[in-house]
Chain A
Amino acid sequence: MKTLRDLLRQKNFMFKLGIVICLAWIVVAILAPVLAPHDPNLGDVTRKFLAPSAEHWFGTDELGRDVFSRVLYGSRVSITCGLITVLISFAVGVFFGGLAGYVGGVVDDIMMRFSEMIQSFPPLILAMVIAAALGPNISNSVLAMAIIWWPNYARLTRSIVISIKQNDYVTASRVLGATHTRILGKELLPNSVGSMVVMCTLDLGNAILMFSGLSFLGLGIQPPTAEWGAMVSAGVENSNYWWVSTFPGLAIFSVAIGANFIGDGLRDYLDPKMRRSNS
């Protein structure tokens, strides 16, 4: 088995950078109350839109709140929501996709048509309508995202399962009289788990992006809670105060890129063929 030490001993610089970025953000999320120099929700309107300075590293926003503190606190919401969304959609998607790909036939058709139906909605509009119908708050927007997100996993799982199914060794074990569950447990799952983990990591970044997008439209989070997407949207109307939207935007970008670096690195590492070519 590959150990964690093995993984970290890789020479992949981006992977390590990704680990560092993500760990840093997790530390920030946990320690936000200790690290933040100001109360993220309390502002003084007479001190609105102050440029970055020694006192306010990232300046102040439209209500005179410290942008730096808000960016730190924002990590809590974004990271948690990203994780939960990916977990839910992963679980649902893998289950349906795997089943569809493996059983095939009518089951496959029904599953895939249903997932296509969900997928063929304009994602943001669907998320908007769902979040709006359920009432805008964090858990509902996470749910809305999971609803429109799982087909991605389902389709990917299905395609992996199908392509593995076509492989000779599965055909061979079929011929040798292996049962369905046996094939599923012994051959398919171990072969697909790697790529699924990779996909999950990569999609963590996407989930954070999408959540901030919903918040940007005013559907993710209730003010005054600090959230990056909502902070960017506050900066849209005031783009001459570049710091209001630039820093939270960079924060989203950095988390997403961190997750992507890790995902890429993991893929290179987990994929045996890739490893062979890397060595």
Chain B
Amino acid sequence: MLRYILRRLGLMVVLLFGVSVLVFMISHFVPSSPEAANLSQSALNDPEIVAAYRAKWGLDKPVWEQYLIYMKNILVNHDLGTSIRTGRPVLEELQQYFPATLELSVFAMLIAIVFGVAFGIISAIFQNKPIDQILRAISVSGVSLPSFWFSLLIMNLFCKVFAIFPSGNRYDPRLYDPTGGTGLYVLDAISWGNFSLLGDVLAHLFLPALVLGFFTMGLITRQTRSNLLEVMSSDYIRTARSKGMSQRRVVIHHALGNALVPVITVSGMGFCNLLGGMVFVEKIFSWPGIGQYAYLAAVNLDFPAICGVSLLIAVVYVVVNLVIDILYGVIDPRIRYQ
């Protein structure tokens, strides 16, 4: 097992290297130029300014040379480069935006897993009863709602029409200044014992996390339900049932463990899906996170930022997947590692 993990860690490095090459290639083959994206119209017209700009950012060198410089900076100086769009170090910017996204996605995942598993279990136990039908309808809606449209709908409903939730951003700047901590405001508020801030932060967090988690929740509900049904119809559960165990005992003690194995995979897929939905949700809820940063980087062809974001998300993805694979093995010992 330990050797397996080490091997996976080695592969992770290979993967990240591949990601960096791929993203570097793609972003440099786009038929556009960063100077067009980042200089004003008058400045662009001035050959002197354009040449100075290209020289400053190394754009006048061949692509492979740019890549070597880039990799050397990462490995030797732990420097992801400087964002062409903002002129700030990419690493610093990622550190600024990532906590917002992490907080949002962790809460979204929390909502998704808690409700998803619970709904799935209830559905399976009350199979084909009205409550099962309702929960299934909800879960299917979850995976069928276009997140950009759903965000819009929820925001208009709860922030504008009913006005019960604050609309967008992470906190009320008139009342609080939560800067200076880890950037994970929920944790910060708890560690400072500032519970009114905690309330404010959670109120801002709720709607976007709900919208973001809704899709994954649907996915998990569905998977939990069908796995549970499948496991419950398998022979050993039948045996347990026939021995006189109650339905609930069977579900909790025997069926759930086996049924949750594929759920973990789905959660992993859902988590990565979350990172995609982030672009829309963050845009509509004015959430200052990685999704918006990535979007701006992509439209402005900010190569260092695109590479930085991609590497960051690749790291998250790889780690999450590794964790899932390991969990998979832990829960289902039938899968062996060589």
Contacts and interface: CB of A to CB of B under 8 A. Distances in A.
Report A-B touching, CB under 8 Å: yes
Interface string A228-269: 010011011001001001100100110011011100100100
Interface in A119-141: 119-126, 128-130, 132-133
Contacts of B148: 213, 216, 229, 232-233, 236
A271 interface: yes
Contacts, number: 155
Given A122-B275, A232-B146, A213 B298 contact: no
B291 to A, nearest CB: 8
Interface stretch (B19-27, B175-183, B242-250): B19-27
Contact of A166 (B30, B133, B334): B334
B27 A274 contact: no
Contacts of B23: 121
A39 interface: no
Contacts of B149: 232, 245, 249, 252-253
| Most B Cβ at <10 Å: residue of A122, A273, A277 | A122
A260 B215 CA distance: 13
Contact of B317 (A120, A242, A245): A120
B156 A125 contact: no
A213 B306 CA distance: 20
A81 to B, nearest CB: 14
B196 interface: no
B145 A119 contact: no
A124 B279 CA distance: 8
B14 interface: yes
Nearest to A109: B11
Contact of A14 (B136, B276, B335): B136
B156 A121 contact: no
Given A14-B137, A117-B15, A130 B233 contact: no
B240 interface: no
B263 interface: no
Contact of A257 (B141, B152, B310): B141
Interface in A140-168: 152, 159, 162, 166
B14 A113 contact: yes
B26 A209 contact: no
B314 A121 contact: yes
A216 B31 CA distance: 22
A41 to B, nearest CB: 22
A217 B295 CA distance: 10
Interface of A: 13-14, 109, 113-114, 116-117, 119-126, 128-130, 132-133, 152, 159, 162, 166, 202, 205-206, 209, 212-213, 216-217, 229, 232-233, 235-236, 239, 242, 245-246, 249, 252-253, 256-257, 259-261, 264, 267, 271, 273-274, 276-278
30 contacts: A14-B140, A116-B321, A117-B15, A117-B19, A120-B19, A121-B23, A121-B310, A121-B313, A122-B279, A125-B295, A125-B310, A128-B298, A128-B299, A129-B27, A132-B298, A213-B147, A213-B148, A216-B146, A229-B146, A233-B148, A239-B156, A242-B156, A249-B152, A253-B149, A256-B143, A257-B140, A261-B140, A273-B230, A277-B127, A277-B233
